[in-house]
Every structure is written in C-alpha cells, then in structure tokens.
Amino acid sequence: MNWYELGPFTVFDFETTGMSPVNDRAVELAALRIDTDGSESAFHSLVDPGRSIPPGVVAIHHITDDMVRGAPRFAAVARDFLEFAEGSTLVAHNAAFDLGFLQEGLARCGLPLWRGKTIDSVRLARRCFPGLGSYRLQSLRAALQLDDEAGNDQAHRAGADVFWTAQVLRRALERALRAGAFAAPGGSGC
C-alpha cells in the first residue's frame, strides 16, 4: 500500500497578523491536496485581513500591507478552500493553530465549520520519529533532510511550510506502513 492511499489529505497552512485566532486575521492560506491515486493539486491565496499587519509579524513572514491590498477577503478564500479540501483529511503542523484560524474565520463569516478529520503533523512526527530534539518544522526539515524541489526555502510562508509538512506526512506514513501500523486493527503505530 502507498501512503497516499490512506487519504485524501489536504495539507494547509495560514500566515496571520498574530497568534490569536479571535483577535488576529489570516493574510495567506496555502494548501496541497494529495488524492488517493497520488495526484496533487495546489491552492494558494493572499488574504486581505482588513487591518494593518504589525511590523514584528511582517519581519517573520515578510507579507506586507501592500502585498495583501486588493487580495480577496477571508470569506471568499475560505469558500474556495472548503471546496478544495472537501472529502479529505486536513493536515497541519501544529494543527491547533491553523485549525483555530480556520474555524474562527469561518464562524466570523457565517460559513459552516470544518467537521472533517484533522491530523497534527507535530503529533504524528513525535510518534513516528521519537527522540528528536525539536519537532518545529524547520528542525524536522533538517533532521529528516527534507527536499526543497520548489526552490523556495523561505520558512514562515504558507506555500513553503505546506511543502515541508507534506513531506513530513509522507515520511511518517511510509514509516508507519513499514511498521505495519495500518495492517491490522489496533496496529502499533510507528
């Protein structure tokens, strides 16, 4: 069995104006959908947060007010994203953060909340790659020697983070399959 046959999966990532899903807003959303035949499709949009992006946050993800000016608002991006992800399992690195922004934004816009499955790639990596010093995405990138085929090594941009999270998912699920974690009910995991 190939790892992607356990899907479909939609790996996603938000960049935001801050850390609070209640008080802050999304400025970028990227996703990669991996279907059960192994095919992939990408989703990306900057998001106009309707407020200025604090300078300290711009220093992290390098998304400026000028970049999001004229971008679609969250409601439009969210509708397209939900259609894109429909029928899949969402995957995010530190899923509570990204899912929090998704759910809070959907609620704020009067859109239906995500009711599907979600996988936190941090928890998955801890289980499948025990003993690493850190499970931050950049640490996993180094420890697992993740590829950078996209030629974009800018951490804290949604597209790059999605690319690396998808690789963590692939490596973890391949390891779990080799260990027989999905071969029988109650499999031992990684």
Residues with a catalytic annotation lie at 156
DSSP class of 114: P
Token code pair at residue 31: 């996703």
Q: Where does 35-135 show beta strands of DSSP type E? A: 40-46, 89-92, 118-120
Which residues fall within 8 angstroms of residue 129, CB to CB, at 6 or more apart?
140, 143, 144, 171, 172, 175, 190
Q: Using DSSP, state whether 60 is helix, strand or coil.
A: helix
Burial of 133 (0-12, 13-18, 19+ CB in 10 A): exposed
Residue with tokens 């390098």: 62
Element (H, E) at 33: strand 26-34
